[in-house]
Structure 1
Amino acid sequence: MQQKKSLVYLYLSLPLVLVMSMTSSIGFYTPGFYARETLNWATQSLGQDMIDLYLVAPILLVSSILSWKGNNTAVYIWAGTNLFLVYTFCIYCFDVHFNSMFIFYCINLGLAFYSLLFFVYTQVKTPARIQVNNLVLTNIIGIYFILISICFYFLWLSDIIPAIVAHKVPASLLEVGLPTNAVHVIDLAVFLPGMFITGILLLRKKTLAFILAPVSLVFFILMNITIGGLIIMMSRKGIEASMAVAIAMGFLAFFSLILLILYAMQMKKNTEYS
């Protein structure tokens, strides 16, 4: 069965696509737009603008149109893309120096956030009865979420704890010239615990986890592509960056995509809406 059609997908996403395309275009194509940032952080900002403009905006536009038409899979892709944008524009709003696009960063963040709230509302109003019969697939995804969350916890804490013990600022912060690392904040406080809990719930075959799994996989795909792309851009600018990490991110993006496709095939067969 299909989800009910709703113009709200377009009402939220069309303005978001337009404003995001504008902010990304101005940031990417205006010489010296990120002049107040360090070379490292300016390069990452330019890379994020490029990814938002040429990858994320088209995905959001297409998924919103298909969601409006009642495509079940597109709704989860749409929600995962908005989750990625909430994450991304939190960083723009809090860790990019004040510039002429600040208000529009806030608009992007708000539209993406309320798009996520609308997704939650649709799941509450029209609960999905999702049955994924492939236990091997759900177990793999659940374990994947748990391992990813644990690995990134250790990675971030290995940067933070030694600096705290030594009463110093982490080297990664000195490179980007920021007071704190917004990625560390979001991951440690919200995202990684959420992924860990989703993994546990998925292993226990809880309905909430069946809903969150495809959303999380879309987020992983976009984030892994972003990290890999930023590393490549930094390397081309002469900034020290590990190409091995970029390759690993590419592998994880591909692995997440395969899991998403397999999961979507299962959902298409077994999902019903009340």
Structure 2
Amino acid sequence: MDTIETAAVAAHSAPMPPGRMRRAVPQRLSAALAGFAAITSLLSFTFFEVFERDAPSAVGNMRGTALTMLIVAVPLLVAAMIMADRGSLRARVVWLGALAYLAYNSVLTVFAAHFNSFFLMFVATLSLSIWSLLALLRDFAAEEVRARGARVPVRLVAVYMLACTILFAFVWLRDIGPAMMANSIPSSFGATGLLVAPTHVLDFAFTFPLLIAGARGIWARRGWGFVISGGLLIMLTIETLSIALDQVFGHYHDPAQSLGAVPLMAVLTLIGSAMSFLFLSRLAVPRTAAEVGRRREAARPVHYPPAPRPRRPMWY
């Protein structure tokens, strides 16, 4: 009995294997992020008076982003983490995209709003999202995604990503181009008081290069091309929905703000949802050895023994 108890204690107190420990890091960081992001977005949406030093349209935009985080990004992140813990590679791609969205918009909440009571909560959300993203990327099996993505329409995905790059780059350049030529402030800044727009910085420095690199990588069927493209498809889909809600709430707080971008963002959200579904659905689901054995056994033809011939009755 003592030997059995000693073995049980040793099994429970044994150190976690390095591989399993490394896989637990992104889960713990992402779980903390989900909690912080949910609380921060709920407070930001409800107690928006803390943004009193920001322009009314900016307050509306912040509320739209907070609502998207609360009802879309955080639930999607939690669901993806649960499914990924059960071994779903598709869920890991969704997890990656949700983290990318939260990291992107955490930068905006930190740098696009004036200092307020939620500042440290915004910083904590930004820190957790960045570190969660890096931890998950370190543990991502890129070659597995490539091997299971043989049926993904890589050219269609690449063209869509390049089209998004061109579209958003054109919109930003139409805004900042004339101001750069005249050495003035872009008209979109209005009364926001921004020195520069964090959206412009993020997109030109990171988002656009990643979209181009992902499109090129998935076109060539490289492992990291699949990973980057899958994550960005999810991120862009949530982001276009977020922009639509930003515009709606921005117009609510400042009727002078146009709603002209809402239909375009709604269409892009639908297209992005279709592209994301297409990408994820074409990732092959691996079969276990037991499943393969059962399928082979079920497909094997069954040979029945021939029925015995009836005996002739013996007459005595």
TM-score, length basis structure 2: 0.78
Structure 1's 208 and 79: CA in aligned 2 closer, same or farther, altered over 3 A? same
* Equivalence for 1:130: 147
Written as runs of structure 1 = structure 2, the 5 A alignment for 1:76-155 is 76-123=93-140, 128-134=145-151, 137-155=153-171
Structure 1's 159 and 270: CA in aligned 2 closer, same or farther, altered over 3 A? farther
Q: Give the number of the structure with larger relative contact order, counting CA–CA contacts within 8 Å between residues 6 or more apart.
A: 1
* Equivalence for 2:74: 57
Higher Cα Rg, which structure? 2
Tell me the secondary structure at the aligned position of residue 130 of structure 1.
helix
2:181 pairs with 1:168: no
* Equivalence for 1:203: 219
Amino acid aligned to 1:95: A
User: 2:23, 2:140 → 1: CA distance?
Assistant: 13
Written as runs of structure 1 = structure 2, the 5 A alignment for 1:253-272 is 253-269=269-285
* Equivalence for 1:157: 173
In the TM superposition, what is the alpha-carbon distance from 1:240 to its structure 2 partner?
A: 3.5
Structure 1's 271 and 76: CA in aligned 2 closer, same or farther, altered over 3 A? farther
Structure 1's 254 and 271: CA in aligned 2 closer, same or farther, altered over 3 A? farther
User: 1:156, 1:129 → 2: CA distance?
Assistant: 33
Structure 1's 206 and 10: CA in aligned 2 closer, same or farther, altered over 3 A? closer
User: 2:185, 2:226 → 1: CA distance?
Assistant: 40
In the TM superposition, what is the alpha-carbon distance from 1:242 to its structure 2 partner?
A: 4.2
* Equivalence for 2:36: 19
Amino acid aligned to 2:150: N
2:233 pairs with 1:251: no
Amino acid aligned to 1:235: H
Question: After superposition, what is the alpha-carbon deviation per residue over 1:91-144, rounded to whole angstroms, capped at 9, x for unaligned?
Answer: 111221111221111111111111111122112698544243346x21111011
Question: After superposition, what is the alpha-carbon deviation per residue over 1:181-235, rounded to whole angstroms, capped at 9, x for unaligned?
Answer: 0000000111111101211222222221112221111001110100111112223
1:39 to 56, 61, 85: 56
Structure 1's 29 and 108: CA in aligned 2 closer, same or farther, altered over 3 A? same
2:203 pairs with 1:187: yes
Structure 1's 254 and 102: CA in aligned 2 closer, same or farther, altered over 3 A? same
Amino acid aligned to 1:219: M
User: 1:36, 1:85 → 2: CA distance?
Assistant: 24
Structure 1's 193 and 240: CA in aligned 2 closer, same or farther, altered over 3 A? farther
In the TM superposition, what is the alpha-carbon distance from 1:268 to its structure 2 partner?
A: 2.7
Please list every run of 5 or more consecutive structure 1 residues that lacks an aligned counterpart in the other structure.
Answer: none
Structure 1's 14 and 131: CA in aligned 2 closer, same or farther, altered over 3 A? closer
Count of residue correspondences: 269
User: 2:287, 2:193 → 1: CA distance?
Assistant: 48
Structure 1's 237 and 103: CA in aligned 2 closer, same or farther, altered over 3 A? closer
User: 2:143, 2:180 → 1: CA distance?
Assistant: 47
1:228 to 234, 241, 244: 244
Q: % of aligned pairs identical?
A: 22
In the TM superposition, what is the alpha-carbon distance from 1:76 to its structure 2 partner?
A: 0.7
In the TM superposition, what is the alpha-carbon distance from 1:11 to its structure 2 partner?
A: 0.9
* Equivalence for 1:69: 86
TM-score, length basis structure 1: 0.90
The answer to whether the 8 Å contact 1:34/1:42 transfers is yes
Tell me the secondary structure at the aligned position of residue 19 of structure 1.
helix
The answer to whether the 8 Å contact 1:198/1:212 transfers is yes
Amino acid aligned to 2:83: L
User: 2:143, 2:209 → 1: CA distance?
Assistant: 27
Aligned-pair Cα RMSD in Å: 2.4
In the TM superposition, what is the alpha-carbon distance from 1:57 to its structure 2 partner?
A: 1.4
User: 2:50, 2:241 → 1: CA distance?
Assistant: 24
